[in-house]
Amino acid sequence: MSGRGALAGVADQVVSSGSNYLTAFLASLVLLPGDFGAFVVAYAVVTVVLAGVRAVVGEPLLAHLPTITEARRRGLGSSALGLALLLGLGGALLCLAAAWSGVAMLAALAAFVPWVPGALVADAGRYVLLARGETGRALVVDSVWAVVQLAVLAGVALTGSWSVGTLALAWGVGGIAAVVAFLVVAVERVLPPRAWWVESRYLSGWFTLTSVLGQVQIYLVLLLAGAVLAAVDTAGLRAVQLLVFQPAITLMAALLVVVTPVMAKLSAGGDLAALRRARRTALIAMAGVGLVVLVAVPLRDVLMGLLFPRYTAYAALVLPIALQTAVGGLTVPFQAQIRGYRRGRALFGLQIVQAVSLLGAAAIGLVLGGVLGLAWGLAAATVVALVAMIATAARLTPAPAAAPAMAP
């Protein structure tokens, strides 16, 4: 991939994650703490659903499509869209059932239900373009989503009708607009999902387990905090994560989606020296991101007062969350390498290690030191994850050339 293409890929991820970040950030400003807590839970569930579908469709696209011939890529991309639509409809039904379950904290999910299928198809389309190396077109699609979402939010601001429902509306209408933009710029169709499922299942099973567990562990920490601490403590933790962790995650995800197809192509071609050079470049980039994140530590009081004035009492959480973020960024190049090697089983094993250490350390920290102890537990667990990731990447070799009949 050219330097220009890589920059477009990073910009695409920034726009994509930035629009989601904006939704959560605005929710923290315009909703009362109780409503914000309900929004956080609902948005968390939708995020887990999206992560699950992305693991079945999007992430295997990045690792598999670069290893096959150009002639076969387009048909498989269209089939992947069909699977995303099918899973999106199923995800919407699951969200509706959860909203109607009688559990108070899940009731806000109803506002997101109509928009789930469109959002998932738009996300899958974006990954089709990224896997084909068409990062500029992916940027166009996500820019349409962001612009439409901002336009709807502007209308909501003018009417003063802020609620979980109107925030979900802006997010969902943007997703529908992105689907239309994708169909125009990609000249794609939506085909039956069987071809993609048969071709990619050697990856999608492990990727699904890995992605869902990765998303669930983040929100289990929030639920753990919510079950033990006051609601305002959970909201304060989330506010600090939005300040420090969430912007950096955008860049981490950008690097992962840009570098994984490159590493998959290099590993399939046997050019491991070039792959290691790509990993070293990515590691330097992530170290730079980590240094920028740590700048938030001396500025924590100013930044919290400026962006999250309701939660300035939680500025002490900035240091451990910043350390967690900086260390976590260093795992990204090794994740990309393992994904490029198409070693889904190893990736899932690492996710188990990370989830166990994260939840265990968070629980111990919570018991010993409340919300501050929980934050330090998260930082310690991330160090464990980094060590495990480096050790695993060092011993692995690329999987054999991708083939439809390959076993997990």
Residue closest to 32 by CA, chosen among 157, 163, 150, 161 = 163
- The pLDDT score that the predictor gives to residue 405 is 37
Residue closest to 157 by CA, chosen among 148, 166, 165 = 166
Please report how many Cα atoms fall inside a 13 Å half-sphere around the Cα of residue 191, on the Cβ side.
14
Dihedral, CA of residue 3, residue 249, residue 346 and residue 263, to nearest 10: 0
Please report how many Cα atoms fall inside a 13 Å half-sphere around the Cα of residue 162, on the Cβ side.
16
The span from the CA of 1 to the CA of 23, in Å, is 32
- The pLDDT score that the predictor gives to residue 229 is 67
Please report how many Cα atoms fall inside a 13 Å half-sphere around the Cα of residue 100, on the Cβ side.
7
Q: What are the backbone angles phi and psi of residue 399, rounded to the nearest 5°?
A: -70, 160
Alpha carbon distances (Å) from 373 to 113, 265, 361, 369, 370: 36, 43, 9, 4, 5
Tokens of 169: 């509306």
Cβ neighbours of residue 103 closer than 8 Å, sequence gap 6 or more = none
Say what angle helices 164-186 and 33-53 make with each other, to 10 degrees: 30
Amino acid at 217: Q
pLDDT digits (tens, 9 = 90+) for 240-250: 888 898 788 87
- The pLDDT score that the predictor gives to residue 408 is 33
Q: Where are the alpha helices (DSSP H) in 65-163?
A: 70-99, 116-131, 135-159
User: Can you count the helices (H) and strands (E) in the chain?
Assistant: 15, 0
The span from the CA of 37 to the CA of 261, in Å, is 37
- The pLDDT score that the predictor gives to residue 291 is 94
Residue ranges of the chain with per-residue pLDDT less than 50:
403-408
- The pLDDT score that the predictor gives to residue 187 is 66
Cβ neighbours of residue 67 closer than 8 Å, sequence gap 6 or more = 264, 265, 268, 342, 401, 402
Residue showing tokens 């999910």: 109
Residue closest to 337 by CA, chosen among 400, 284, 271, 262 = 262
pLDDT digits (tens, 9 = 90+) for 375-387: 999 999 999 999 9
- Residues present in the chain in total: 408
- The pLDDT score that the predictor gives to residue 280 is 93
Q: Where are the alpha helices (DSSP H) in 161-193?
A: 164-186
Tokens of 78: 């269209």
The span from the CA of 324 to the CA of 60, in Å, is 27
- The pLDDT score that the predictor gives to residue 71 is 67
Residues 312-318: contacts with CB under 8 Å, at least 24 apart: 313/236, 314/233, 314/236, 314/237, 314/239, 314/240, 314/371, 315/240, 316/372, 317/236, 317/237, 317/240, 317/371, 317/372, 317/375, 318/240, 318/243, 318/244
